[in-house]
Amino acid sequence: MIARKLVKSLEFVVRRKFLFLLVIFISLLLTTNYLLPTVSADEIEDLQRQIDELNHARELSVKATKPLEGQIEALKRQLDQIQASLNVLSANIKQKQKDLDTREDKIALQQALLETRIRAYYIRSYLADPLMVIFSSIQAGDLFRELSYRQSVTREDRSIISSITAEVVNLLTQKEKLEKDKIKMAAFQAEVDKNATFLGGEIKKAKAYQADLTGKIAQLSAKQQQLLAQKLGSLNLPKSAYAMRGGCTDDRNIDPGFSPRFAIYTYGVPNRVGLNQFGAKGRAEAGQSAEQILKAYYNADYTTGYDSGINIHVTGSNEYGQSFDDNWNIEDYVKHLYEMPAGWPMEALKAQAIAARSYALAYTNKGSGPICPSQQCQVVKKEINDGNWQAAVDATKGVVMTSGGQPIKAWYSSTHGGYVFNSGDIGWSSTPHTKRAQDSTSSIGSFSDLQNNAYDKNSPIFYCDWGSRAQYNKTAWLKPEELADIVNVLMLAKKDSGTQVHLSQVDKPNPDGQDTWDGDRVKRELGGSAFNTISDISVSADFGSGRTTTVTVSGDGKTESFDGSEFKNYFNLRAPSNINIVGPLFNAERK
């Protein structure tokens, strides 16, 4: 009875709560469908309005489901308790069934005894008649003993008959009750299963609806992310070691004219896929061969004797003002390549030559299509490269990295910052020949380990604060109130996503054509939670994968923590000039 009441109560509560939830969902869906017109790429104002409406719809859904999620958890615990009770009852019923089976076996034996006793009872009942005994030839002394004995035996027969009969009746009663209990148990279990399925299905619908809204918001926000991409592009990050031209300036020992001051330093450049050129240099200096270097960066086969008769069609212009419409043999093509300084160790040059040869063959489908001569593909010049480079090409003639027998698109970049990513990690299509790994002499568990053990630690852009301002000695240092403003912008955007259109950097025109709110306006919108200044900043990272996970700031007697990726996005949106965090792993410096 208790289990049935619990199940009925549970079913009533669940259906009542989720009826309310479904009504809200239907309203949200109708409202959302009505409020979402077709988006035009040029309608910036409509873009923000749609984001606001979608955010509002998602917030309503979350608010509707949050309390119910707590109730669902409580109901789930209640279901679990009921299920546990049912399991105990089921076990008891199984034991009763086993006991009854044993009793049936025993009663089958007693049945034969019962039949014998009944037959004997009736015989003795007749023979125990006192008159029969009196008229028998038994002597008087034995008469009373015989009467007493026969009556005693008769009583014993009667007792045994009654006991066995009662046992049989009890057994039949218990079996009947057991069958009824089994039917009830099956019904209880069906109710519990039905409610468990109902709970799981409804919360799944709620989460699916919210995920759909989140996806739409992310899709629209991608247009705003283009602003961040443009700012990043303005830094002209060097894609290869050859084009580095000194890299960025480390501002840690440069005084901008104010103190205290903060700067955000990034490890490496955004593209961490494939060969790390400065990492290859470090590995070569450590005594590794070209094959060992390449296998550290690719999940691919080191293949010799590949066809060297393939021609490569180069078309387009490079960064040096040269135009091309040339057909070169694959080996001659690689000799025209300018991606790594020719003065580097020979094993690093050989690894680069093999990677470049593999890339060209994969990119052109073994000569079937053209390839450009710029950083968009691989940089080549009209002039053949230095003699050291030519020697590296000749020493690796016909060597390529392959996967499944086919040349791989062997990506590479100048500086990975101590880590290697697979292509899927940076938003490209996933490829089996790229890999994820720490690029270091030993394991990395801290920023100190990274600085000391990374193979590319000597790159001039290994640890860099990108961007600069001429008025502050061409550095990327920020004042405490400027960092506070960036933090306030992040908090306001989290509080009200509709304000994001007003939160771009204040020293450039607003990309959405709206008024950009200055620091004072942002603080007014935030109220008492706003920071006036930042006194300290700390960073936590996942050193296994090479990503900043949390940024924590303190100031004005309070502390706030933010997701690393979230902080990076809003830092880049608000930071002045072209100051930028360019990769997923970054740290903070304070002077």
Are 387 and 471 within one domain?
A: no
Give every CB contact of residue 51 below 8 A, 6+ residues apart in sequence: 217, 220, 221, 497, 498, 500
In this predicted model, what pLDDT tens digit does every residue of 187-235 receive, in sequence order?
A: 767 776 776 666 666 666 666 655 555 544 443 345 556 766 777 776 7
Give the span between the Cα atoms of 476 and 86, in whole angstroms. Answer: 67
Helix (H/G/I), strand (E/B), else coil: 322:
coil
Confidence tier at 564 by pLDDT (50, 70, 90):
very high
Do 291 and 401 have their domain in common? yes
- The answer, yes or no, to whether residue 66 has pLDDT greater than 70, is no
Whether the CB-CB separation of 157 and 128 falls below 8 Å is answered with no
Q: For 360-391, b where at least 16 C-beta lie within 10 A, e where not — what string?
A: bbbbbebbeebbbbbeebbbbeeeebeeebbe
* 299 and 405 fall within a common domain: yes
pLDDT tens digits, one per residue of 273-320: 999 999 999 999 999 999 999 999 999 999 999 999 999 999 999 999
User: Would 456 be classed as within a structural domain?
Assistant: no
448, part of any domain: no
Looking at the fold, whether 245 and 196 belong to one and the same domain comes out as: no
pLDDT of residue 341: 95
Question: Does 12 share its domain with 62?
Answer: yes
- For residues 294 and 358, the answer to whether their CB atoms sit within 8 Å is no
Q: Are residues 246 and 357 in the same domain?
A: no
The pLDDT of residue 176 is 77
174 and 54, same structural domain?
Answer: yes
pLDDT at residue number 235:
72
Please indicate, yes or no, if residue 450 is contained in any of the structural domains: no
Q: Residue 6: what residue type?
A: L
Say yes or no: 419 and 467 in one domain: no
pLDDT mean across residues, the chain: 80
pLDDT for the residue 33: 38
Identify whether 475 is part of a domain: yes
Residues 256 and 118 both lie in one domain: no
> Is 457 inside any structural domain?
no
Q: Are residues 549 and 414 in the same domain?
A: no
Let me know if residue 480 belongs to a domain: yes
- What global pTM score does this model have? 0.64
Identify whether the C-beta of residue 49 lies closer than 8 Å to the C-beta of residue 217.
Answer: no
Judge if 26 and 160 occupy the same domain. yes
Domains held by the chain: number = 3
For 30, the domain range is 2-231
Q: How does pLDDT run across 491-534, given as a tens digit for each residue?
A: 998 888 888 889 999 998 888 788 999 999 999 999 999 999 99
Domain contains 451: no
pLDDT in tens, 350-394: 999 999 999 999 999 999 999 999 999 999 999 999 999 999 999
**581 domain-assigned:** yes
CA 518 centroid distance within chain: 36
The answer on 258 and 138 residing in a single domain is: no
